[in-house]
Structure 1
Amino acid sequence: MSARLNRARGDHSWHRLFWWTLSALAACASDVSHAQSAVTLYGIIDTGVEYVTNVGPHKSSSVHMPSLTASLPSLWGLRGKEDLGGGLSAVFVLESGFAPAQGSLNQGGRLFGRQAYVGLASQWGTVTLGRQYSQIFWAALTGDTLAPNIYAAADLDPYLTQPRVDNSITYTFTSSGLTAAATYSFGRDAVDSAPAGGCAGQSPTDWRACKAMSAMLKYDSGKWGVAAAFDRNYGGGGTGSPLPLSSQTDTRALIDGYVKFGTATFGAGFQHRINHGEQTPTVFDATSNYWWLGGSYFPRPDIALDAQFGHITVSSNDSGGSVIAARAMYFFSKSTAVYVTAGHVFNQRNANFSIDGGVIPPTSTPLAGVDQTGAMVGIRHLF
């Protein structure tokens, strides 16, 4: 009898707790319903057919569909903001990259590999946590008039179009066209393979391993703009990684800008890089200087013409190169456009830069010292 009574009392207490919890959730839901919130679904589908010369040891030609980027990378995402009152808002972004030709995920197969963060925003700035872009990405956009087009000066340093870090915290402050921001990652990657630049993520035993930091200062008036950024990755990826040891670093400093004249925009940039990791089996501690200039012109509201040139010099063994790229695009509407684009890379004796920024290396990589040409016809739709 005593056991049954105690069990009955326990069941009664559990039911009271259950209904109290439901009531609390209902009250919270009622409060949330009065807050102003919005969630936006957005995306890009962009693909086509490309032709690339001098691929691999046999210098063969390839006709294929790209998987990483076309005129823009294909993606879909959710962006949300909730007004919490008193000038405070909750914000989040979940963004997924995919290959339209296969329907598969990019960024190492991550569901939200492009961005995944949540944070708070106020008049004093925004603090966000999660997987986010390095600040050098936002700075490089200021003066780059063509990338992430499949052929662009950024083929000489693809990092600038995709520098994301896991386990990161970011602070951003914007006022009257001026933006200051900084990002710190406790472990920049734990998904990509070591050869692809992946790291071991957050390390409980090595405070430097796989850390990353970046900062940006930018001014944008709408007619002209300028940006500067600093980006540093710490090693610790182990054997096969470009930065095997946590004592090794890869550091970039960038400055760029743009100016508009009517329907024409001109942009230029310069980056200095010091890489203490392994560049190739025989080249260490490489220092490089990379610069580009380009322009975009609208002869009519529905036609855009873009061109760009970039050059990189590496401190050792004739490992630099140049890229020239162009694109013509016709807009059926604000959402849908068709285009044709082409590019050519000039490799120095020991360089093997690929013109094909639309696939994961080494799929289209040429032999060292061999030039390469690419051309593509494509279509894109924004929603």
Structure 2
Amino acid sequence: MNKHAMAAAALALIGSMAHAESSVTLYGRIDLGVGNLKELGESGSTQMFNGGDAGLTTSRIGFKGSEDLGGGTKAIFKLEQRINATDGSLQSPSFKGAAWVGVKGGFGQVIAGRMSTQLDDVRAVGNSQIVFDSAFTPGSNGVYKSGGDYSSRFNNQLQYQSPSMGGFYAGLGYAFEQTTGEDDKMNSLIVGYENGPLHVALARQDEKGKDTDYISLSGAYDFGAAAISGGYNRRNGPDASGKDNEFTIGATVPMGNFKFSAGYAASKTTIGGSTAGKASGFALGTTYSLSKRTRVYAGFRKHNVKDAGGNKTADTRLFAMGVRHDF
């Protein structure tokens, strides 16, 4: 082999080694549906919906990757932009879904930037088998907002999550001020256990800007023939907004390419020890997988919110069907 061939082979080897030590993945999904939405005091309107409004999930495009730093440590990152697929516009802010960088190794994972909170991760466990944790899921789409809901993402955030130790894990989160000059920081704590079909998690989130703290306890179990999940949430706010107590439960049953799911949620708001509002809702849904990356779906959700006198302040009914494609 001559020197030029040897040099070319060496460069090719070095390039392949470098490529093997780092990776970048382009991913995304498109979710669009057509449905009918009826609100309190209004006639129903049939229209096309973005998936996040009346489907399985918000459309998005993202980049994620890692680089091997040696010694079992990796640099990691994620950038995710949310999209309104009905017209192609980008949701604000840019990279609304995620914009973070960090390191991962035997010590666990540390990331910094914009990301979901650890309380949101726990809520996701509780909703995982409740109509596909989608726009049809009653708890996160109207029922839990009778007294005011938590912030699911924060900017300027630091998060640590421990490695799994026999299924047990824990983590801490802290967000610096969101608005210059405002005391709107956030801190959070998560503990959980995940092993095989069982996942249980507990989180607390303290939002200084709202003078409010949230606690969420969730669990999920997959029996094979069916899977269930549920959760309990508590919001403790200032005197003006009082407290919320909320719960949800649901199940998903797979049958061939079909999955059928149902769920229920309820909440109660108290101010000064008296009931200030109640909310409840239920939902049904099904998906059919056309392939590993494409599924069609249909779902129905109904919920209402009542004030202290029992008068309805919200009464929503949604039916929609659509298609989701992941890439």
> Structure 1, unaligned stretches of length 5 or more?
1-28, 189-199, 236-242, 244-248, 278-283, 353-366
Shift of 1:304: 0.3
Shift of 1:221: 1.1
In the aligned structure 2, how far is the partner of 1:34 from the partner of 1:266?
Answer: 41
* Residue correspondences, number: 302
- Please name the residue that 1:71 is paired with: 56
1:382 paired to 2:326: yes
SS of the equivalent of 1:268 reads strand
User: TM-score with structure 2 length normalisation?
Assistant: 0.85
1:258 paired to 2:220: yes
1:123 paired to 2:81: no
1:296 paired to 2:285: no
- Please name the residue that 1:222 is paired with: 196
Distance 1:37 1:372, change over 3 A: same
Report if the CA contact (8 A) 1:41-1:77 is conserved: yes
Report if the CA contact (8 A) 2:159-2:173 is conserved: yes
Counterpart residue type for residue 341 of structure 1: G
Within a 5 Å distance, the mapping from 1:202-351 to structure 2 comes to 202-203=180-181, 209-235=183-209, 243=210, 249-276=211-238, 284-300=240-256, 302-316=257-271, 318-349=276-307
Report if the CA contact (8 A) 1:321-1:351 is conserved: no
- Please name the residue that 1:151 is paired with: 136
Counterpart residue type for residue 304 of structure 2: F
Give 1 or 2: higher strand fraction: 2
In the aligned structure 2, how far is the partner of 1:351 from the partner of 1:298?
Answer: 42
- Please name the residue that 1:174 is paired with: 163
String of CA shifts for 1:303-351, please: whole Å, max 9, x gaps: 0001100000010454211010110111101111111100111322369
SS of the equivalent of 1:140 reads helix
Report if the CA contact (8 A) 1:347-1:369 is conserved: yes
In the aligned structure 2, how far is the partner of 1:265 from the partner of 1:150?
Answer: 19
Report if the CA contact (8 A) 1:350-1:368 is conserved: no
Report if the CA contact (8 A) 2:144-2:266 is conserved: no
- Please name the residue that 1:6 is paired with: none
Please say which structure displays the higher CA radius of gyration: 1
In the aligned structure 1, how far is the partner of 2:115 from the partner of 2:233?
Answer: 21
Report if the CA contact (8 A) 1:137-1:163 is conserved: yes
SS of the equivalent of 2:81 reads strand
Distance 1:35 1:331, change over 3 A: closer
In the aligned structure 1, how far is the partner of 2:150 from the partner of 2:287?
Answer: 21
- Please name the residue that 1:361 is paired with: none
Report if the CA contact (8 A) 1:327-1:339 is conserved: yes
Distance 1:110 1:261, change over 3 A: same
Shift of 1:160: 7.3
User: TM-score with structure 1 length normalisation?
Assistant: 0.73
1:60 paired to 2:43: yes
In the aligned structure 1, how far is the partner of 2:249 from the partner of 2:68?
Answer: 41
Report if the CA contact (8 A) 2:304-2:312 is conserved: no
SS of the equivalent of 2:120 reads helix
| Structural RMSD (CA) | 2.5
% identical aligned pairs = 26
In the aligned structure 1, how far is the partner of 2:100 from the partner of 2:38?
Answer: 40
Report if the CA contact (8 A) 1:273-1:287 is conserved: yes
Shift of 1:162: 6.5
In the aligned structure 1, how far is the partner of 2:77 from the partner of 2:46?
Answer: 39
Shift of 1:178: 2.3
SS of the equivalent of 1:60 reads coil
Report if the CA contact (8 A) 2:206-2:214 is conserved: yes
Distance 1:117 1:222, change over 3 A: same
SS of the equivalent of 2:163 reads strand
String of CA shifts for 1:109-130, please: whole Å, max 9, x gaps: 1221110000111100111110
